[in-house]
Amino acid sequence: MSLNKLEFPEPYKHNHPPVCDAHALYEEQLTISQKVADGIACAVGSWEFIILQAFIFGTWISLNAANWFYHWDPYPFVLMNLVLSLEASFAASIILISQSQEDRRDKIEAREHCVVNEKTEVEVRVILDHLAAQDIALSTIYNMLQELQIKANPKH
């Protein structure tokens, strides 16, 4: 009986850089104006902003309609309409800036997911190769044991 040399692949060495946090990567690339745009978009898209705006313009209308003080904006509230139009114009532009940044962040995140998937695929391939080598080794060991058993018990 000849003892077959069992062969296994070389142990896998992790020689790739660590996985990056896509959100941290994105945050590092933001400029001050982009951070401000995100902050404004977040504030404008909140319930607090809507409640504050309803309170301010409700007060505006009440004070002008009730004639308690000087009418800086009598009915039909042309100045208030101008303020609201300007606010909507700026808010829409800032929200678009913030949305385009979100798109950029999503692309960075998708790329990082792709990198992780590529690393995982390499490691899974190595594991499968190692398992295949173990299957061959186990089969060889099993056959050797069968031969030894036959030699030990020639009557059976």
Distance CA 38, CA 23 (A): 14
User: Would you state the pLDDT for residue 61?
Assistant: 87
CA distances to 66, 72, 85, 89 from 54, rounded to whole Å, are 17, 19, 15, 18
Q: How confident is the model at residue 1 (pLDDT cuts 50, 70, 90)?
A: very low
> Residue 44 falls within a domain, yes or no?
yes
CA distances to 31, 35, 37, 121 from 41, rounded to whole Å, are 15, 10, 6, 39
> Residue 5 falls within a domain, yes or no?
no
User: Would you state the pLDDT for residue 47?
Assistant: 93
> Residue 103 falls within a domain, yes or no?
yes
Range of the domain at 95: 30-152
Beta strands in the chain (DSSP E): none
Distance CA 80, CA 71 (A): 12
> Residue 3 falls within a domain, yes or no?
no
Looking up tokens 């295949």 gives 132
In the chain, the amino acid numbered 10 is: E
In the chain, the amino acid numbered 33 is: S
Distance CA 150, CA 156 (A): 8
Q: Count the neighbouring beta carbons within 10 Å of the beta carbon of residue 139.
A: 10
pTM: 0.57
If one counts the domains in the chain, the total is 1
User: Would you state the pLDDT for residue 68?
Assistant: 67
> Residue 11 falls within a domain, yes or no?
no
User: Is 96 a residue whose pLDDT tops 80?
Assistant: yes
> Residue 6 falls within a domain, yes or no?
no
Distance CA 61, CA 82 (A): 14
